[in-house]
Amino acid sequence: MTNSYEKTDVLLIGAGIMSATIGTLLKELAPDWEIKVFEKLDKAGEESSNVWNNAGTGHAGLCELNYTPEKADGSIETIKAIKINEQFQISRQFWSYLINNNLISNPEDFIKLVPHMSLVMGADNVSYLEKRYKALSINPLYEGMEFSDDPAQLKEWIPLVMKGRSDNEPIAASKIDSGTDINYGSLTCKLFDHLQKQNVEVNYKHEILDIKRTKEGLWEVKVHDLIGCKAKYYTTKFLFIGAGGASLPILQKTGIPESKHVGGFPVSGLFLVCKNPKIVEQHHAKVYGKAAVGAPPMSVPHLDTRYIDNKKLLLFGPFAGFSPKFLKTGSNMDLIGSVKPNNVFTMLAAGAKNMDLTKYLVQQLMLSKEQRIEELREFVPNAKSEDWDIVVAGQRVQVIKDTEAGGKGTLQFGTEVITGAEGTVASLLGASPGASIVVDVMLDVIKKCFPNQMKEWEPKIKEMVPSYGMKLAENPDLLFEIQSSTAKTLGLVDTSEKELVLK
């Protein structure tokens, strides 16, 4: 018996922030195209994009010290931080476009102003942070950034962190008030509600099982309807794999050359959460520290003000760990299942090169709650175990590939896009800075996959993202205009100052 196929123009796998964003962009650019979405869970934004599963930082390179390493000559490398800041400005512009055009509403449900700070201890680190501050604060993207190594000033900025410390220890922080806390899960749900109103078919409890390429250059997708307990078949002209940690095994099913010699290394995460209002009200910032020597960048500790379920909380972490699952809702067989004849040597090389990382992750996994509280005390010296609970965060799957610089089996710590088969398929792999830069990354996918439409689409893209194709750091007037208008639209008002924060 032959299967009957339903046709669509675009098929999106997964209902996380990535599919939500590319779906919304394409609906604006090509309103007549038919889009179908398949998600194995019963709601949108429940895996890594969920508010409890990530740190909710609007990464803009303001506070993350791993984006600004010290070079051999002692100067500070700022390229990565500036690039991420530019990318975050693109997200802000697109979200503002959506609000201004009533495509989504109530920005306060997903974005809030929370200062971003970096905190270091020890004389060498203090000198590094001061150099970092000097290198970044001359750039218009970082206007308003402050630095202090004065305990009295730090007590004002971060009383909870300073309580119980002696004034003799070298300590310093930088601070920028325009940082944000973002509920990517809430934003994802808003985007899917909007897409459904635009007649996009969103199929929950539907799991992608298989993918094949037809002679005509379409993609045949086999889907399991988890409620009806039956297989369904679709053909699509364009396929986007936004399955989070599970994107790699799904990409492997396409058989495209770009999916070969690529592996995934899963890293689990835990946060400590404090809901005690007496403690929560003593802290208002996302405070990023320095990763311990030898620790991977995803384990940079931070103490964050978070807004979750309409409550203000504190989260500390994430503590990294090892788990063979590619999704929080995944299977213990995910890692083994992703090893194929074409990537086995890449994976083995990565395993051999990263023994220290594996050892580190296993050690982290074995930490008792008291040992985790000990790590928290580096930030909050007076922390008491009874005020903090452990919550499980989302899974990250770091990409492993063969690179010229790193050789066979090099572990990548960023966000990676893979496109192939004449731009008919694209997939998003990797983690940080992830959701913060989603709009720029999805615009890049669109540019690579739809080169023939770009000329026609460019005016609309510029309407959605006025700075598209430009560097805001080199256009300070436009930067100021965009930052003030997006701050107003997104409600990024510092309520304590009762005035607009424009930077």
Ligand X SMILES: Cc1cc2nc3c(=O)[nH]c(=O)nc-3n(C[C@H](O)[C@H](O)[C@H](O)COP(=O)(O)OP(=O)(O)OC[C@H]3O[C@@H](n4cnc5c(N)ncnc54)[C@H](O)[C@@H]3O)c2cc1C
Told to check if 23 binds ligand X by CB under 6 A, we report no
* Smallest gap from residue 54 Cβ to ligand X (A): 3
428 in contact with ligand X (CB under 6 A):
yes
Instruction: Retrieve residue 33's tokens.
Output: 């195209």
| Interface with ligand X (CB under 6 A), residue from 22, 300, 314, 431 | 431
Whole-Å CA distances, 123 to 77, 126, 128: 20, 5, 9
| Contact flags string 226-255 toward ligand X, x per CB under 6 A | ----------------xxx-x---x-----
Q: How many CA atoms lie within 13 A of 428 on its CB side?
A: 33
The rounded distance, in Å, linking the Cα atoms of 317 and 56 is: 12
- CA atoms in the 13 A half-sphere facing the CB of 327: 21
What single DSSP character describes residue 160? Answer: H
Q: Would you count residue 323 as binding ligand X (CB under 6 A)?
A: no
Stretch in the footprint of ligand X (CB under 6 A) among 42-50, 95-103, 214-222, 366-374 = 42-50
Q: Which of 324, 244, 323, 337 is nearest to 39 (CA)?
A: 244
Q: Work out whether 97 is an interface residue with ligand X (CB under 6 A).
A: no
476 preceded by a cis bond (ω within 30 of 0): no
CB of 152 to ligand X, least distance (A): 31
Q: How far is the CB of 18 from ligand X (least distance, A)?
A: 4
| Cβ 119 vs Cβ 379: under 8 Å | yes
Q: Which is nearer to ligand X, 148 or 395 (CB)?
A: 395
Q: Which residue lies nearer to ligand X by CB, 84 or 126?
A: 84
- Secondary structure class of 175 (helix, strand, coil): strand
Asked if 301 touches ligand X (CB under 6 A), the answer is no
- Please tell me whether residue 377 adopts helix, strand or coil conformation: coil
User: In angstroms, what is the minimal distance from the CB of 74 to ligand X?
Assistant: 29
The residue (of 162 and 376) whose beta carbon lies closer to ligand X is 376
Q: Which is nearer to ligand X, 256 or 437 (CB)?
A: 437
DSSP letter for 138, please. Answer: T
C-alpha–C-alpha distance, residues 326 and 119, integer Å? 32
- Least separation in angstroms between residue 498's CB and ligand X is 28
- Which position among 184, 238, 288, 388 is part of the footprint of ligand X (CB under 6 A)? 184
Q: Assess 116 for contact with ligand X (CB under 6 A).
A: no
Q: Which tokens in the block code for residue 78?
A: 């700022």
Q: What angle do CA 110, 299, 78 make, to 5 degrees?
A: 80
Provide the binding-site residues for ligand X, judged by CB under 6 A.
13-19, 38-41, 46-49, 53-57, 59, 184, 207-208, 242-244, 246, 250, 269, 318, 327, 393-396, 428, 431-436
